[in-house]
Amino acid sequence: MGALNHKRAIITGGASGIGAAAARLFAVEGAALALLDRDVESGRGVADEIVRDGGQAEFIACDVTRAADCAAAVSRALGSLGGLDIVMHSAGIIVRRSVVDLDEADWDRVLDVNVKSVYLVSKLTIPVLRAGGGGSIITIGSGWGLVGGPQAASYCASKGAVVLLTKAMAIDCGPDGIRVNCLCPGDTDTPLLHGEARQLGVPEESFLAASARRPLGRIGTPREIAQAALFLASDASSYVTGTTLLVDGGGLAGG
Residues annotated as catalytic (active site), given as ranges: 155
CA 121, CA 50: separation in Å to the nearest integer?
23
Contact 92, 114 (CB under 8 A): yes
Spatial distance between the Cα atoms of 255 and 252, rounded to a whole number of angstroms:
5
Would strands 86-89 and 135-140 be described as parallel, antiparallel, or unpaired? parallel
Identity of the amino acid at 72:
A
3-state secondary structure of 143: helix
φ/ψ region of 24 (left if φ > 0, alpha if ψ in -120 to 50, else beta) reads: alpha
Query: Residue 209: how many CB atoms within 10 A of its CB?
Result: 11
Vertex 170: Cα angle to 123 and 132 (nearest 5): 60
* 21 touches 225 (CB < 8 A): yes
